[in-house]
């Protein structure tokens, strides 16, 4: 699968752009946290597209964000 | 530092994803 680029994204309708990024992000998140993959991906998709593209290219920064998302979720669940 | 991630974000549903074997 070819890497997702900014120009590929720009050619897509706005509402499709997050879906396109999500389709790339989801399997990577699933590798780390299969149970929470949908939720974590949804949280990450609120980040700017330009930053998300960088994260797709950088496993280290992606993993850091995934861990951050898990920590936020756990803190949120602990409060309820 | 407070995270900017939102725990109430909508869950993402992939169109096409198969479990890796």
Question: In this model, does residue B2 exceed pLDDT 80?
Answer: no
Q: Which residue of A has its CA nearest to B16?
A: A23
pLDDT of residue B21: 47
Question: In this model, does residue A3 exceed pLDDT 60?
Answer: yes
Measured in angstroms, the CA of B11 and the nearest CA of chain A are apart by 4
Quick one: DSSP state of residue B7?
T
Enter the ipTM: 0.83
Asked if the C-beta of B11 comes within 8 angstroms of chain A's C-beta atoms, the answer is yes
H or E segment at A70?
A: helix A59-79
CA A21 to centroid of chain Cα atoms: 7
Q: Which residue of B has its CA nearest to A66?
A: B5
DSSP A15-65: HHHHHHHHHHHHHHHHHH-TTTHHHHHHHHTTS-HHHHHHHHH-HHHHHHH
Residue-wise pLDDT for A4-58, tens only, equals 999 999 999 988 999 999 999 999 999 999 999 999 999 999 999 999 999 999 9
CB A80 within 8 A of CB B7: no
């Amino acid at each position: 699968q070819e890497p997702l680029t900014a120009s590929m994204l720009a050619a897509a309708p706005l509402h499709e752009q997050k879906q396109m990024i999500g389709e790339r992000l989801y399997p990577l998140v699933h590798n780390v946290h299969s149970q929470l993959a949908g939720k974590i991906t949804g949280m990450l998709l609120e980040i700017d597209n330009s930053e998300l593209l960088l994260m797709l290219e950088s496993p280290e920064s992606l993993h850091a964000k995934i861990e951050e998302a898990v920590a936020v979720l756990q803190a949120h669940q602990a409060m309820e | 530092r407070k995270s900017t991630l939102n725990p109430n974000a909508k869950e993402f549903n992939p169109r096409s994803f198969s479990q890796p074997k």
